[in-house]
Chain A
């Protein structure tokens, strides 16, 4: 059996509407007088095609988690739109979300607070099914088979979360996400809290399930190498704006935006010689300065730290322009 590469591009869409379409998304915390000065998400646009995995990469304050929450309806959207399979869900009511029929699901970061400790695994798993009118017996049956699919014994349905390790709980979280047969799963730092070996297990699981079922993922992470493994396309976010987007391998191996270059140069690799090279590159790119940068509302958000920055960068926000196979928001990238 040949090993399938993760599809380089999404399979030719048989449906006209992409799985997810986000347009000019703006999210600002607080309301009225209490509104924050800077939006957490400041004009983000992207699509996820059916069967495609898109990665959102950024450090703290990049807005990546907020985007995930906005899509799931956990965070109010200030401006812009989110469309799922052609339906506008930007301000979807609770009833409308429920009608989505469990097509839009999530796996969260912290395995220790993802499950109600007072309920059995089974009770948590069947909840979304029961809400949609599935009979109890059927729901439990599906829960059991789902658990086995993620590599846990079926009798786990009767156990409590505290009886499982972090990695096992993340598997159960994946089971919960997939139990309704969704089309899109938002993975919000789904492996960030796991040890390396457990992380690998869960990543493999996510990849397998994706290939098996043709799922789309929105994979949110701060670790660009993890995203590169799972995603076909990646968006690099900084302070709520997209800096660069394109094929995962390309963006990671040959980044064009100064921030992406800084990000990849800063991510250490476990090979000493190569890491020494990266270090040398870091010095050139002036990777740091995060603490010095103050939020600006005009111009490029990265201008305060960028070695290429000019007056233009500080006054005019660069638009995403196509360079080769990707989009880059920089006046000077090539």
Chain B
């Protein structure tokens, strides 16, 4: 009855890919590091069993000798075998380092958990204490401690672990707090789990990876520290050898026997390096931060080759997009998109998440994410095909002819600079005026976007203004270069509804004043009804219906558009409807797109004929286009996508046998509400 589950949806939180072991194995350096660590640990622990020479045995015939069959790594100034001494020294060092790391974790982890779950005051106290500890010179304290306990390395390292735990705490508390803020922690509280239980069951497991990373790092530092202490004479008591002590002895003979420096140094370095490399591998997340700017090859054109379009004819006619396809090397994300934006008109690009509306919009201003570029079709603007422009050429268009407004105004502004700096800078660049003129223009622009106290706002930082005001600033930024086309990517989604109304009014007045055109990306049909003149409905990367706003919203002809409008609770609840129309299933992922209609699987009117690729055709008795072979038929029959009654058993939608021809279409029975399907 139910279909198999669909694979992963995009997640806002960056997960770490796979289990730690898997992550380690994926990186060759980490594997090498892990192997070395395993080797040195085992070799050191088993040293008494296999050392070729007792560490104190002196061979006066081979003093300061280089590698030889008898002494694989050479000998020191007393003829003692270096290989034996190195591995004999290893055990104590590694054990003490482990102790240090364990102590550090034992102190830092509980503190972090307590701080994260205990509330502001508790966290504040712990923060103060650890700050104080971090400001203390640890090495110096440790030397003083040596005065007390002597060179008892395990104790010294334990104290070191305690001292450095404050640094670890800093790292852990950030992770713990972000985990504590997750909603599943709230859910656990509602379940009735005690805070301690929550910390142990939900927060700690999420931190384990971070803990392992820090453990490895502290371990590495502890090894270095012991070597340093031994170098200055505070190593393990004679006769136990130590790496630091051996390097100290070697330094005395660096002129006459330089080789002696090498083996100990390399073993020490390799061990520390291995721990660091393993830590790195564990710490790596699968997602590299997605850069907003392509760092390499900035001069590459978006698409190679000359344009095949008739660019001259396009000049002065606004924006024309023809059969645009956008995607990465692996997959196409947007296909066959065509739209027109005439001067002074607002075009709405509407659809649900994943339909490709944002990518389409970003390609108009050449700000697609790295790795994604136009693959086919053209974007004709003012005599150019924008898909063929190089970055440098596009720079001349951005801001001056085409401008962008993003979804989250707070994130769109640089938090480190004042509003005045950012706005003034943009004006200077785009209008080529001096600083004073730019400042005056900035104040004027802020006034134009409805900010009353412009001089004050210019001095403020982005975090000091509200979301609505920040979006006004962003609009002012977009207007700085007096563009002819505005690309607005969900500009009001993140705002309260009353603020949204203000911003929409503002945009409308700006468009009326300047005669600009606008492409507005949104998921909200209400916004489309408010401000747009024309609308393009997208689903799964393609255009399914387009036309004037009145025509499409009052009389949608594509089943998906019908369904979406029927599912909208804002569409007015008629007296009797107590269930919302909904669409069973989910949007298919790009790699699962079928050749034919991408909505067919979820469409209650789909037939076998829908499995073939479908082109855009004119809408029935209206301007605009629709991508559906049954739309004319359905529109003629007055069919709607209505809600199903409650309690009706879910059923698979029956795929009708193919019915070709208008005659049969006329005979097709009027469909009433189909049983709704709960298939996923």
Q: A: which residues have CB within 8 A of B?
A: 1, 3-6, 30-31, 34, 59-60, 69, 72-74, 94, 97-98, 100, 102, 104-106, 108-110, 112-118, 124, 127-128, 131, 151-153, 156, 159, 162-168, 176, 195-201, 203-204, 207-208, 211, 222-223, 225-226, 228-229, 262-263, 265-275, 279, 282, 287-288, 290-292
Closest 4 CB pairs of A and B: A268-B526, A270-B525, A98-B192, A200-B582
Closest residue of chain B to A69 (Cβ to Cβ) is B186
Which residues of A have CB within 8 Å of B7? 163
Closest residue of chain A to B567 (Cβ to Cβ) is A200
Report the Cα distance A314→B466, complex, angstroms: 23
Report the Cα distance A200→B111, complex, angstroms: 45
Do the beta carbons of B501 and A282 come within 8 Å of each other? yes
Do the beta carbons of A162 and B496 come within 8 Å of each other? no
A125 CB to closest chain B CB, in angstroms?
A: 11
B352 within 8 A of A: yes
Report the Cα distance A282→B563, complex, angstroms: 29
Which residues of A have CB within 8 Å of B578? 3-6, 207
Contact with A along B454-469 (1 / 0, CB 8 A): 0000000000011011
Which residues of B have CB within 8 Å of A262? 498
Report the Cα distance A131→B526, complex, angstroms: 45
* 14 A-B interface contacts by CB (under 8 A): A3-B576, A3-B579, A31-B121, A72-B186, A109-B183, A128-B192, A151-B650, A204-B579, A225-B569, A225-B573, A228-B573, A229-B573, A273-B554, A291-B469
Which residues of B have CB within 8 Å of A72? 186, 189-190
Report the Cα distance A200→B59, complex, angstroms: 86
Do the beta carbons of B497 and A112 come within 8 Å of each other? no
Closest residue of chain A to B502 (Cβ to Cβ) is A288
Report the Cα distance A267→B569, complex, angstroms: 11
A269: which of B11, B570, B583 is its contact (CB, 8 Å)?
B570
Do the beta carbons of A163 and B567 come within 8 Å of each other? no
A168: which of B469, B572, B680 is its contact (CB, 8 Å)?
B680
A248 CB to closest chain B CB, in angstroms?
A: 10
B312 within 8 A of A: no
Which residues of A have CB within 8 Å of B186? 69, 72, 74, 106, 108
CB within 8 Å of A: which B260-292 residues: none
| Contacts A105-B190, A165-B586 known; 20 new A-B pairs at CB < 8 A | A3-B576, A4-B646, A97-B192, A106-B186, A112-B11, A112-B13, A131-B191, A163-B8, A195-B352, A195-B353, A197-B582, A201-B582, A208-B646, A222-B496, A265-B501, A268-B504, A268-B527, A272-B550, A290-B496, A291-B465
Q: B: which residues have CB within 8 A of A?
A: 2, 5-9, 11-13, 15, 120-121, 182-184, 186-194, 202, 205-206, 352-353, 452, 465-466, 468-469, 496-502, 504-505, 523-530, 549-550, 553-554, 563-565, 567-573, 576-584, 586, 643, 645-648, 650, 678, 680
Q: When A108-B183, A282-B501 are in contact, do A203 and B553 touch as well, CB less than 8 Å?
A: no
Do the beta carbons of B523 and A267 come within 8 Å of each other? no
B187: which of A59, A108, A196 is its contact (CB, 8 Å)?
A108
Do the beta carbons of B187 and A269 come within 8 Å of each other? no
Do the beta carbons of B580 and A200 come within 8 Å of each other? yes
Report the Cα distance A163→B528, complex, angstroms: 33
Which residues of A have CB within 8 Å of B524? 268
